[in-house]
Amino acid sequence: MSELTATHFLTLSAALFIIGMLGVLIRRNVLVIFMCIELMFNAVNVSFIGFAWEQHSLVGQTFALFIIAVAAAEAVVGLGIIMALSRRLDTVDIDQVHELRE
Amino acid sequence: MSAEVLVFDILGAIAVLAAAGVVLARNPVHSALALVVSFVNVAAIYVILRAEFLAAAQIIVYTGAILVLVLFVIMLVDPDNLPEFHGGRPVQRLLALILGLALLGEVMAAILTRTIVGQPGPWSPQAVAAVGGNTQALGRVLYSGYVLPIQVTAVLLLAATIGALVLARPDTPRVRALVRDTATISLAHPRGSEMANGVEPALPALAAGQLKLEAGERTLVMAKSGDDFLDQPVWGERHQS
């Protein structure tokens, strides 16, 4: 509790990432799974920016910026897939979606 | 220095609690709102870590664009299709919990035993302040060494936009093209002539192959509107019920 160190934000990043991972594994609603993936992206961003802060470098921030851009693209395509799914199969339950398996 | 740690701990605790709320909330809208809280707190942590531009980008892109998109999709998805899916899979939940705890243990061990620290880079707080701030410094780094990735990102965003348009299109384009090619004749019955007994005259039933167009041929379908021979309402026409 004396000074802000790398351990603080790495712990925060690990906690956020694992909560997101648990959400992906436990939940069955595709929309909530999507939100948990965004949470994991965010956890990785915290890591990158924390390391950039520690190392006096801006490469980590650059990387985080690209991650945000890619997450936006992923969000657009993912939500489009969810829309198509709910229109085609009338469900957003991940367990009901097994067309590829059959 | 201790105040900084205190602020970090409060923001981090709220972010983690909100993230747990995303996973635990029964209603997807509540999950989305908890996600907003988590993202805003993480953006505040970015400010502590001297990444002001990314804090702004985080709020604009995540809470401003992605979360609004998520809420729109929740609104568009039929509420009957949004039951709660918590129960019924105890084995998977237990396995997920064990995996999560194992990963947490591994990562915490890695974090706490971390010893390798690289050489400090050139962008000390003084150097960042010398060029005018975080945004200017980030711009200098971005547009000197990362010009090609920026252009690739632009192409990626364009591809994602086109992909979203393709995915969001109605999924029966062929039938819709058929509707445009079909000559529709309105069968207007004189009032009282055939409706006298209160029974509407039935339309001729459609054969299964009737909707398939041969090349260069037009089908004549007897129907009052496009909805009478299609499952889904045709865009631009009012659904008659």
pLDDT, one tens digit per residue, over B1-49 is: 588 899 999 999 999 999 999 998 888 889 999 999 999 999 999 999 9
Contact across the interface for B5 and A1, Cβ inside 8 Å: yes
Query: Which pLDDT score is estimated for B2?
Result: 82
A69:B38 CB<8 A = no
pLDDT category, B168, cuts 50, 70, 90?
A: confident
- Among A30-39, A56-65, A89-98, B198-207, name the one with the lowest average pLDDT: B198-207
- Asked whether the beta carbons of residue A86 and residue B78 sit closer than 8 angstroms, the reply is yes
In degrees rounded to 5, what are phi and psi of residue B195?
A: -95, 15
- Same domain assignment for residues B224 and B240: yes
The CA distance from B112 to B105, in Å, is 10
- What pLDDT, on a 0 to 100 scale, did the predictor assign at position A66? 95
pLDDT of amino acid B219: 53
CB A68 within 8 A of CB A3: no
Domain that holds residue B161: 2-78+122-168
Closest CA to B18 of B1, B46, B43: B43
Does residue A15 surpass a pLDDT of 90? yes
In chain B, count of helices (H) and strands (E)?
9, 0
Domains within chain A, CATH numbers bracketed: 7-90 (1.10.287.3510)
Residues B221 and B163 in one domain: no
A67 in contact with B, Cβ within 8 Å: no
pLDDT(A23) > 80: yes
> CA-CA distance, A66 to B158, in Å (whole number)?
15
Average pLDDT, chain A: 87
B48, B6 contact by CB (below 8 A): no
- Say what the pLDDT of residue B223 is: 57
Residue B131 lies in a domain: yes
Cα dist from B165 to B34, B86, B162, whole Å:
29, 32, 5
Reply yes or no on whether the pLDDT at B239 is more than 50: no
Does residue B91 lie within any of the structural domains?
no
CATH code, B158: 1.20.120.1200
Give me the residues paired with residue A29 across strands. Answer: A93
The predicted model scores a pTM of: 0.76
pLDDT at A55: 87
A71 pLDDT higher than 70? yes
Would you say A16 and A43 are in contact if contact means Cβ atoms under 8 Å apart? yes
Question: Are B54 and B157 in the same domain?
Answer: yes
Residue B225 pLDDT > 70: no
**Residue B22 is nearest to which of A35, A45, A84, comparing CB atoms?**
A35
Rounded CA gap, A93 and B83, in Å?
A: 8
Tally of structural domains, chain B: 2
Return the residue matching tokens 């010398």.
B130
Q: Are the beta carbons of A25 and B62 separated by less than 8 Å?
A: no
Query: B70 CB contacts (<8 Å, ≥6 apart)?
Result: A31, A34, A35, A75, A79, B32, B35
Tell me, yes or no, whether B140 and B35 share the same domain.
Answer: yes
Q: CA Rg, chain A, in Å?
A: 17
Work out the average pLDDT over A55-67: 92
CB B92 within 8 A of CB A26: yes
Q: Which of A3-17, A86-100, B86-100 has the lowest mean pLDDT?
A: A86-100
- The one-letter code for the residue type at B42 is V
Domain for residue B21, yes or no?
Answer: yes
Assess if residue B216 is contained within a domain: yes
Residues B132 and B182 in one domain: no
